[in-house]
Amino acid sequence: MTFLVDLLAATLRNATPLVYGTVGETYAERSGILNLGIEGTMYAGAGAVMALMTVTFGANQHVSGIGLTIALIGLSEFTNRLIFAGGELQRIEPMPTVNPFGELGGIGAIFDQYGLTWVAFLAVVPAAWWLLQRSSFGLEVRAVGENPEAADAAGVNVVRTRYLALMLGGALMAIGGAFITLALLGSFTLDIIAGRGWVCVALVIFGRWRIGRGVIGALIFSLVFSLQFRLRILPGFGELPFELLLALPYLVVIGALALSGRNVAYPGAYLKPYRRS
């Protein structure tokens, strides 16, 4: 019973950054923009930069996203080295400290979660679903993601809508990255995001651009991710290669995409820059 409780508690914790990232990426992609900068955004936050490159300048979304990821990861890790590895910024007083969010009490380990975990599941997910599916802003986001020309003709400001979607998505991604630093690990380390941004992109496709399905995918990935850590200490699993258990959650994602990714209806304007004629 303790094993199951600890596993479920860990699943909720590990799912939290994925939920923020997946919801944020869903907003970006429903507006017609594939944000491959999510991995870098979880390091530093840059929704407006991605919007500037892809919406204003009409740059290739793949190149912009990957370039943004490389730049932000490099900038974050370079700054970290300056602060903690003898660079000039080391002389800053007082030295930066990272304090985890306060934990909430509850019955059992399952309910003993950080505040941002409860915010994610009880507030962000339902609010994001309502905003995307029931509000006029959500209607505009979906319209520009399907047919920006028709949306423009109907009076929707395509540029503004995509900017807002990308900035909102970028803010949520950045919160997910901050949660990893402040709550899961307690300090910044090199390669701290560890591919979670790319997992969020896969979860959006797995969820078929629906927030609820994407969150379910995040929980499934996190369950397997948490399980592989606990399997290592169980009798009979210690002989398995460490790398195989570490790869297990990512293999699950690949398998889920292979099964659910066929005949997926992408947003109509996916990857297409819009220029008002």
pLDDT per residue over 146-197, tens digit each?
999 999 999 999 999 999 999 999 999 999 999 999 888 888 888 899 899 9
Query: Which pLDDT belongs to residue 86?
Result: 56
Query: Which pLDDT belongs to residue 101?
Result: 44
- For residue 124 the two structure tokens come to 């962000």
Query: Which pLDDT belongs to residue 85?
Result: 66
Closest CA to 225 of 210, 203, 204: 203
**pLDDT tens readout for residues 207-260:** 999 999 999 999 999 999 998 888 877 777 667 777 788 888 888 888 888 887
DSSP 209-238: T-HHHHHHHHHHHHHHHHHHHHHTTSTTTT
Is residue 72 within 8 Å of residue 193, measured between CB atoms?
A: no
**pLDDT tens readout for residues 52-98:** 999 999 999 999 999 999 999 999 989 888 887 654 544 445 544 44
Does position 100 have pLDDT exceeding 90, yes or no? Answer: no
If DSSP codes are grouped into helix, strand and coil, which group holds residue 4? helix
Query: Which pLDDT belongs to residue 106?
Result: 43
At residue 104 the predicted structure's pLDDT band, cuts being 50, 70 and 90, is very low
Query: Which pLDDT belongs to residue 92?
Result: 47
